[in-house]
Structure 1
Amino acid sequence: MTLLSLLIVAAIQGLTEFLPVSSSGHLILLPSLTGGPDQGLAIDVAVHVGTLFAVVLYFWADVKVALLGTLRLMHGRVDTPGAFLALGLGIATIPVVIAGAAIKLTGLDDMMRSVAVIGWTMLGFGIVLYWADKTGAHDREATEWRLKDAIVMGLAQMLALIPGTSRSGITITAARKLGYDRESAAKLSMLMSIPTIAASGLLLGVDVVQDADWAIARAGLIAASFAFLAALLALSLMMRLLRSVSFTPYVIYRVILGIGLLIYAYA
């Protein structure tokens, strides 16, 4: 890939990974709509690693608490907020890991990589996000996260395996319907992304390592670095905007893009 292509892929992944607009859907659309080559698995893994570092850095205070809690959890203790957070994140990650492995083994992931599928999911789940955001209460904060909420959000996260759904979008939708305020819903969604992206990267990374060479590694490092910067920017802007703006702008974008993709797919 050329340097420009790497930067475009990294920017798309970084800017859309944590916004409720589906990063995977945009990455699939890029070669489909431009006629260019697919960026390949190695670059996909690289840009995901870049976004992983971004969310860890942005929420480092919470990540540190969860890491310390993991140590207590490993000793069978759930007696601190950190241990409870680590347990909740672990429980929320299990459904998507199982479903993701099943989809990869059965080859269903290739069958879902189409413009029509992304168009329908962009449109449909965008409307669902709008409904949840407008009807959900605002009386709960991230510190009030319960295990049953982690299960609900974890099950919702499985839907993000369908391109165009958006991992952040569907988990934020679930959190808003559970009554979490917008900032808390986004925060919980972002924290859930850490073990999910790590598990996904590990699963895909096994295939990448077998075919890796220096050229691919260098391209991956460049892509990961730019994805990191783009993701950090997107995270900062979204979390600030949520203090005064709803998720409606993202919904409008999803609806317009979804309708456009459906027209393109069926024309």
Structure 2
Amino acid sequence: MSRQLILDLLPPPRPTLENFIAAGNGAALQALRELQPGRAVYLWGPPGAGRTHLLRALGEAPDCLYIGATDDPAPLNELATGDAAPPRLVAVDDVGSLGPAGQAAVFALYNRWRAAAHTPQAYAMLVAGERAPMAMPLREDLRTRLGWDLSFRLELLSDDERAAALASRAAERGLQLSAEVLNWVLTHYARDMGKLTALLDALDRYSMEKQRAITLPLLRELLAGTAGTVSTHPDTPL
């Protein structure tokens, strides 16, 4: 297997609430664990804070609808204007990327959500964006609806929290990461835990393929074939 393919073939593990590193986002995680039809949650925060992870964790479950930033919003329009029974949960990621039709659909879904909240047709709404509700670049009436129920700001993990999380996940796989390797990854690679976990999986596979211990030279050898697509510090050579 070529080094170029290793990272491509090892995407991050499927997002779940269990493998989300909560750290300072415990209140948001608990709210999602308890999310029931008739309730709504809006999550906001910077890229890499875990918005997509959490929305996919719930929205890709059976009898749920997940619409990501690059997905066709047509199912939202059909749900907003049709007579079909709604899914148990509607998850809309990166709501700020929606065009006029998509925004109109989410607006209608919030109205339908509130009207059905105490009926057998109740469903949950889970929406995410980069900014607080009233700061989102959306139509005014949709901005107000984003704050109708619960709203949480997601914080990025600190360097110490990322280090602890990565070391823990390595230990779960029976891997031993030296301080040198761990520090290099945390300093020069992506901050997103999903990408860090994918790198850990790739490094594990590459180490077994080469029958060599995980060292900084082995990591650099792995990344040498993906230097054009890997996020590293601009002043640090591979």
Query: TM-score scaled by structure 1?
Result: 0.25
Which has the greater radius of gyration? 2
| Higher fraction of strand | 2
| Higher fraction of helix | 1
RCO comparison, higher one (Cα < 8 Å, 6+): 1
Query: TM-score scaled by structure 2?
Result: 0.27
